[in-house]
Amino acid sequence: MPASQPRSRARDRNNVLNRAEFLSLNQPLKGNQESRSSSRKQSGQAGAAGAQNANPKERRQSQQLPEEDCMQLNPSFKGIAFNSLLAIDICMSKRLGVCANRASSWGGARSMINLLGITGHGIPWIAGTLICLVKSSTLAGQEVLMNLLLALLLDIMIVAGLQKLAKRKGPYDVNPGLLDYLTMDTYAFPAGHASRVAMLSKFFLNHLVLAIPLRILLVLWALCVGFSRVMIGRHHITDVLSGFVFGYLQFRLVELIWMSSNTCQMLISIW
């Protein structure tokens, strides 16, 4: 043991790292650590003071941000279902837009589909109703025609108002025609043609005596006109379906405010 101690001491003396100029390499600088810890404390205190001096609105916003992020990352079941149905509607409407342009798969039939759509437009129906009203000589015919004219005008105003509120674009970038601008049918939801043909078919089925084949043809005409708007890319499927619903509701509204024969005669005399 006594011989080993002098050897260890001699080894320590010969070790270069034990010299005074190399001691700083072996030992951490206490001053630097203290200065770093003090600077961290000062920055923490400054941050706390800044947070205390911050606006209450900013603090509320910073507290609300994590909740908003959680709401976006964890949407509700209703939101997921609505977005899924919307995506399916857009995808199916684009697939069924076979006449959206000349380069489409059924582009050659676009003119025929447009002609079918004109049969459900508001302007030809209003003009035809006015001509029939002028030529009509029976009180019953004038009563039906006056109420039909009221239904057509209500349809244009209601659909135009709903489209201005929704402002939904169609599945394809198809410019509205001149007749569409005249009836303010420039947006997609709800489909004006669909609401009109649904209202007209229900009106004729209730107030005209038609044979069964004509009734079937009337319903088929309404369905074809409605879905022709999807084929040319002007409306989504949900736009057409909602148009059918609104058309039926408009028919019920006209039935509630049905004008009597005397009221029709008075309006015709004023006109």
Q: Distance (Å, rounded) from C-alpha 59 to C-alpha 62?
A: 5
Q: Are 159 and 198 in contact (CB under 8 A)?
A: no
Query: Which string of DSSP letters, residue by residue, matches 234-249?
Result: SS-HHHHHHHHHHHHH
Catalytic positions: 193, 235
Evaluated on CA atoms 123, 125, 130, 132, the torsion sign reads: positive
Q: Buried (b) or exposed (e) across 63-102, using 16+ Cβ within 10 A?
A: eeeeeeeeeeeeeeeeeeeeeeeeeebeeebeebbbbbee
Q: How far is CA 57 from CA 39, 53, 61, 215, in A?
A: 29, 12, 6, 65
Q: Are 247 and 223 in contact (CB under 8 A)?
A: no
